[in-house]
Amino acid sequence: MDKDRAPVLFLDFDGVLHPVGEPAVDDNFRLIENPGLFVWRPLLERILEPYPQIRIVVSSDWRRLFDDPTLIQLLGPLSGRFAGVVESYRSNRAEEILAEVQRRSVREWIAIDDHESVAAAQHAEPRFIACAPGTGLNEPVVQRRLGDMLAALS
């Protein structure tokens, strides 16, 4: 499949791949070693494994702190799926993602995020998957919903 037309997963980090509040940067905004960061990334790896066509666009605020090579490194085994970052800046995360969907002309997409705007938007747009900031992707219902939505894209 053409990478430009591949389905996209818009991915937040805090509250999705690890609990909100995990220390990530020092006073100079340099990444620190913290084994609590990205603890749920292996869950995402497992869920995405049957779907090699899925590309990842980072929608996390981490995109404002780190360059693409650093974000790619943070994705670890998922790094080959990296397709960039959300470049749209709006009043909330859901609006940023929707603007990016239009900017990229993405037809098939899913967004997983703990931002309150995503929770509100998922009622009108079912491709948004909201998760709780403390449990993120570790929540079985979130894993099932993501898995079901990925299967529907295939």
Residue boundaries of the structural domains of the chain? 3-153
Looking at per-residue confidence, does 90 or 145 come out higher? Answer: 145
Ramachandran angles phi, psi of 85, nearest 5°: -125, 160
Please give the Cα distance from 14 to 93 (Å, whole number): 13
Q: What is the pLDDT of the chain when averaged over all its residues? A: 94
Query: What percentage of the chain reaches a pLDDT higher than 70?
Result: 97
Both tokens assigned to 21: 């509040």
Q: Read off the DSSP letter of residue 115.
A: -
Which range is least confidently modeled, 6-15, 20-29, 105-114?
A: 20-29
Q: Does CATH place domain 3-153 in 3.40.50.1000?
A: yes
DSSP one-letter string for 60-114: STHHHHS-HHHHHHHHGGGGGGEEEE-----SSHHHHHHHHHHHHT-SSEEEEE-
Collect all residues with Cβ–Cβ distance below 8 Å to 69 and sequence separation of at least 6. none
Residue 97: is its pLDDT beyond 80? Answer: yes
